[in-house]
Structure 1
Amino acid sequence: MNEQNITAQLKDIKPLLEIPDSSYYIYWGLIGLVGLLLLGILFFVAKRFWDNRKINLAKVYLEAIKKIEWEDTKKSAYEATHYARLLATDERRKELFSQLEPMLEKYKYKKEVDEVDEDTRNQFNLYVQVADESV
């Protein structure tokens, strides 16, 4: 009877079911996602470094000084003085700037100013030419 009772109890136990295991695919999917994420971050960091590599400020100042329009004389005199001072790093440019600055002074501190005279324009063009050769 005991044996029948055990057999009856064992008949009540269901056979093992096969459970679908997708943890292998989830594992590799997460590895791939993290890898893509890291590659994306690496790409944007490298792009930022490439775009922000050291800029030659002298070339930027030279381009700005070349773009000066002499229609608004007062504003142009201020810009020319500012960028010329920034470009005056060696002796030749410092000497030319010391000659150019007093010529530009007469256009800066007055309410109404005249057009730039030829001497000032020639001195400015000489300064730009010398700065362009040395940059």
Structure 2
Amino acid sequence: MEIMLYTAIIIALIALVVLTVYIINTLKVTKEFMNDVSTTLDGIETQMKGVTDETTELLTKTNRLAADAEQKSAKLDGLLDGARGIGETINEFDHSLKQLTNSVSRASQEEQEKTSQAVKWGASILEYVFKKEK
């Protein structure tokens, strides 16, 4: 019976040693894995810092472009207001020119009738004068 007790103790010790070796190997692999994770996280942190810096720079440029576009839009609004004023002035000038043309045309028609009457009277007078001389 003693041999069985010693054999059981030896088997238990061997199992304990094997278990210890496997635990040590598992801890070594876990340590390597954690080092790789740490390195990866450091790289991600560096990349995120770069992305954050680029995003901040891009946002700054976007704000500058928006301000520049706003200034140019304001200048363009002034230019468009001026062009609108010129268009209104041209329309008023066109209207005045039409009124003047209509007035001249009416006056011309009235004068044409008077001129026609004067020519007829003049022709009649000349006819009368030429008839008397003959």
> TM-score, structure 2 length as denominator?
0.44
- Identify the structure with the greater helix proportion: 2
- Higher RCO, Cα 8 Å, sep 6+: 1
Question: Max radius of gyration: which structure?
Answer: 2
Structure-1-length-normalised TM-score: 0.44
